[in-house]
Amino acid sequence: MLTIFSAFAPMLALAAQATASPPQATQLPPPVPPVPAPVLPAVQADTRPYVALVTDLGTITLRIENKRAPITSANFLRYVDTKRMDGFKFYRSTRSWGPANQLIQAGNRGDARKNFPPIAHEPTKATGLTNCKGALSMARLNPGDATTDFFLLLSDIKGFDSDAPGGDGAGFAVFGEVVAGADVAEAIFNAPISPTAGEGVMAGQMIEPQVTIKTARRVSTPANAPQGCVVKTP
């Protein structure tokens, strides 16, 4: 018996080895390397301030270009943040100038003690902004004397830009634009005009009754705010 078992021992060892090796059919395929996710361009958060002017005729929302026109923007926001703009008036509409030069003007028409000191002028050739339809521009008599008054443009007035041909080389400082409430600005533009108020170029342009800015407050960035037109494209 021992001799017979000894004869079969090598065969049993080979059978055991064959059983220990997994069949070829059960082997897994090599791992597939992961496909890297596409790199998307970073979306820049809009950190520019927005201000809502609540008027007698509705609300106008403005975007302030505080990076491009920091002096003019800081002056405007100072009136907003101290609530001194509450009670300012829209008092002028340039309907008498025709369709190519449409704007409304607002400012302090009451207590002059609310005025902060005049600010330095920021020409559009320095800021890269332009007086297009919807622009928010600073009103002035001479460069460097602006305090509270501002324009909202209802048409392109490129003659207000500092590099406009035939201009005074200074123009009017753009520092923001309307992003909502253009219909309210239009209603102010079409408000009744006094037949007697105003002198010189202001004659026939004085709104009566004036439209009050009830409150002026910073607001969150509106959803889907339009890109706008005030930033000049190359």
Residue-wise pLDDT tens digits, 73-96 = 999 999 999 999 999 999 999 999
Given CA atoms 82, 182, 72, 206 in this order, what sign does their dihedral have? negative
Span 57-71, mean pLDDT? 98
- Looking at the predicted structure, is the pLDDT value of residue 14 above 60? no
DSSP-assigned letter for residue 58? E
Would you place residue 31 in the very low, low, confident or very high pLDDT band (cuts 50, 70, 90)?
confident
Query: Residue 32 falls within a domain, yes or no?
Result: no
The pLDDT, as a whole number, for residue 11 is: 45
Residue 13, phi then psi, degrees to nearest 5: -65, -40
37 vs 138 pLDDT, higher one: 138
Query: Residue 40 falls within a domain, yes or no?
Result: no
Query: Residue 60 falls within a domain, yes or no?
Result: yes
Question: Which residue, 168, 125, 172, is CA-closest to 146?
Answer: 172
Query: Residue 89 falls within a domain, yes or no?
Result: yes
- Looking at the predicted structure, is the pLDDT value of residue 60 above 80? yes
Would you place residue 43 in the very low, low, confident or very high pLDDT band (cuts 50, 70, 90)?
low
Identify whether 209 is preceded by a cis peptide bond (ω within 30 of 0).
yes
CATH of the domain at 104: 2.40.100.10
Query: Residue 72 falls within a domain, yes or no?
Result: yes
Residue 196 sits in which domain range?
50-219
The pLDDT, as a whole number, for residue 73 is: 98
Span 25-54, mean pLDDT? 78
Element (H, E) at 187: helix 182-189
Query: Residue 181 falls within a domain, yes or no?
Result: yes
206 vs 167 pLDDT, higher one: 206
Query: Residue 97 falls within a domain, yes or no?
Result: yes
Give the number of domains in the chain.
Answer: 1
Lowest mean pLDDT among 2-11, 102-111, 146-155, 175-184: 2-11
The pLDDT, as a whole number, for residue 2 is: 45
Query: Residue 215 falls within a domain, yes or no?
Result: yes
**Hey, is 60 helix, strand or coil?**
strand
Q: From start to end of 26-173, where are the E strands?
A: 50-55, 58-64, 89-93, 103-107, 135-138, 150-153
The rounded mean pLDDT for the chain is 89
| Whole-structure pTM value | 0.82
CB burial class (10 A; 0-12, 13-18, 19+) of residue 97? middle
The pLDDT, as a whole number, for residue 161 is: 98
